[in-house]
Amino acid sequence: MDNLSEALKTLKLSSADSVEGCLDCLLKALAHNNVETSGKIQEMGVLAMMPALLSAQNSCTPKVANIIAEVAKNEFMRSPCVEAGLIPPLVQLLNSKDQEILLQTGRALGNICYDSHEGRSAVDAAGGAQIVAEHIKSLAESTDPATGKLLTVFCGMLMNYSNDNDSLQAQLIIMGVIPTLVRLLGVHSQNTALTEMCLIAFGNLAELESSKEQFASTNIAEELVRLFRKQVEHEKKEMIFEVLAPLAENDVIKLQLVDAGLVECLLEVVAQTVDSDRDEDVAQLKTSSDLMVLLLLGDESMQKLFEGGKGSVFQRVLSWVPSNNHQLQLAGALAIANFARNDGNCIHMVDTGIVQKLLELLDRHVEEGNVTVQHAALSALRNLAIPVVNKSKMLLAGVSDVVLKFLKSEMPPVQFKLLGTLRMLIDTQADAAEQLGTNTKLVERLVEWCEAKDHAGVMGESNRLLSALIRHSKSKDVVRTVIQGGGVKHLVIMATSEHMIMQNEALVALGLIAALDLDCAEKDFVAANLVQVLHRLLTDEHSAPEIKYNSMILICSIMGSEPLHKEVQSLAFIDVVSGLRSHENKTVAHQASLTEQRLTAQS
């Protein structure tokens, strides 16, 4: 420490001749105890001398930059380095032709930028990132070891400069660093340190939406898949996964990854890790199968892998559903849900017996089941039930019976998918709608969920299913079950929904209730203020034509009830309806004339 103090004093007084020895002494002290030495350097005001030493640009320059790089490894020294004015002369040194100066300067700037807002701002103001990006571009093709080391330092510097800072990352993207880094990955695939640095940089940049277009214009997919195939270590694969996941959110890149053979790599990882209990294998299995599902979210990539239902990838993924591994069951069900995104695929899958696989999977998860697997399998069934030709086949296969086993679920995501699946199944299926609509337990649960104010999705779907049971069955028994279960008030509230489609569904269902069993529903209609709701819908200029039309149909249907009739008269409906005779929509205008006649006849 005494030698250090002497060296620091000498440095402050010295002439150029003795500087080099002092610098060597400092480097030795830093290597021995960096924290203590750095504190001493700051204490004795040596940082303030550094700009002059850097500007001199002589044989000592690399050592001065090296000292700054070492000192800046300490968090407490980064701001003092900026305050001492070291950034402008360091950035100036980036124009040097000397490789050692460039190396040490890159290290110094990179370390000062690490987790330091002041460091980054100063480098930004001095234009350092642009010069480094240009260096990387011009050196990218060179494969000699010294250049590889310099490129690694420069990439690290840009990474520290932009890490967790969206605006600086966006700046690098505008500078065009992405194509350069992808090129580095191709040329320097043997250089582990450099490829790792590129991967970390990609991981940071890929989170930004603006980067995706640039990535898509490079051969990043091929390079990453090629690199992935070479890896044996879990950590290296994990690094590549961290880049693949954000990139695979882009549909163009999804297709590029499929074309580059990523799917085969993922299937291989799954096969290698499926029977292992090791934490890292469990993690790889999850990442691979999740990524597989993500690739299937793109329409083109999904269709390419479906191959008319004959694709080997499609078949492999199907084999995951009966597996004993929850993660694979989940990924298999989600994959089916993603394949089931057009009618052709859905029809093919139902015809080849996939429904049975999903039902068996659900049966395994009824008691103490895995919620994510339940949710995924129900999502797949809901999608498969969309084509009309599939509905009766799926009902015959017993889908509604298995789905009803989950009525007791207290998990909103499962409730939501269960409701959507049943609603899809009964669409246009009168017998099934009647069978489910007279199921007291189901109707009671729906009425209960119609009040699930904390879960808007579940509440909305419950209302829609209640309405669908009536609309598709057109059955008096269903209507009576809904009335007795307390569902009428919810349908009246649904008629005031902000979604026109829900308003309409509610009005049609209420019209059927009034037509099929007005006596039984009368009390509930009065209690739910149905007439006031209809008056509001007809006088609201924002109401869509079909809402006005169905509201008038419903007015006519309730005129047979004395208390409702009286309410209609007291609210002067006749004036409202007569104003609609000149409505621009011909159907509305015509219905207004018919309704006016009805109201006049009964007044």
pLDDT at residue 257 greater than cutoff 60? yes
In our burial notation (b when 16+ CB lie closer than 10 A, e otherwise), range 259-298 reads ebebbebbbebbeebbeeeeeebeebbbbbbbbbbbbbeb
Residue 419 inside a domain? The answer is no
- Given a contact cutoff of 8 angstroms between Cβ atoms, the answer to whether 552 and 581 are in contact is no
Domain termination residue (choose one: 457, 486, 519)? 519
Question: Do residue 447 and residue 514 come from a single domain?
Answer: yes
Examine the domain organization and report whether 541 and 598 are in the same domain. Answer: yes
Q: Is residue 19 part of a domain?
A: no
Asked whether residue 557 is domain-assigned, the answer is yes
The CA-atom distances, in angstroms, between 35 and each of 75, 84, 108, 285, 596 are 10, 18, 16, 42, 91
> pLDDT tens-digit profile of 183-200?
999 999 889 999 999 999
Contact 34, 70 (CB under 8 A): yes
pLDDT number for residue 184: 94
- 112 membership: H or E segment, kind and range: helix 99-113
| Cβ–Cβ under 8 Å, residues 277 and 239 | no
In residues, how long is the chain?
A: 603
Q: Is residue 291 part of a domain?
A: no
Number of H helices, E strands in the chain: 40, 0
Do residue 469 and residue 493 come from a single domain? Answer: yes
* pLDDT value of position 10: 66
Distance between first and last Cα of the chain = 108
Q: What is the pLDDT at residue 368?
A: 75
Residue 6 lies in a domain: no
Same-domain pairing of 457 and 515: yes
Domain boundary residue among 519, 542, 558?
A: 519
In the prediction, which pLDDT does 391 show? 97
pLDDT for 384-408, tens place per residue? 999 999 999 999 999 999 999 999 9
Q: Are 227 and 254 in contact (CB under 8 A)?
A: no
CB 53 within 8 A of CB 105: no
Residue 534 and residue 515 share a domain? no
Range of the domain at 593: 529-602
Q: Is residue 239 part of a domain?
A: no
Q: Which of 497, 519, 541 is the last residue of a domain?
A: 519
pLDDT-derived band of residue 603, with 50, 70 and 90 as boundaries? Answer: low
Tens-digit pLDDT profile for residues 269-303: 999 999 999 999 999 999 999 999 999 999 999 99
Within a domain: 499: yes
Cα 471 versus chain centre, distance: 36
Band the pLDDT of 20: cuts 50, 70, 90: confident
Residue 476 lies in a domain: yes
**Structural domain total, the chain:** 2
Q: What pLDDT, on a 0 to 100 scale, did the predictor assign at position 337?
A: 96
C-alpha angle 431/433/439, rounded to 5°?
Answer: 105
pLDDT at 3 over 70: no
**pLDDT at residue 341 greater than cutoff 70:** yes
In whole angstroms, what is the distance from residue 154 CA to residue 499 CA? 55
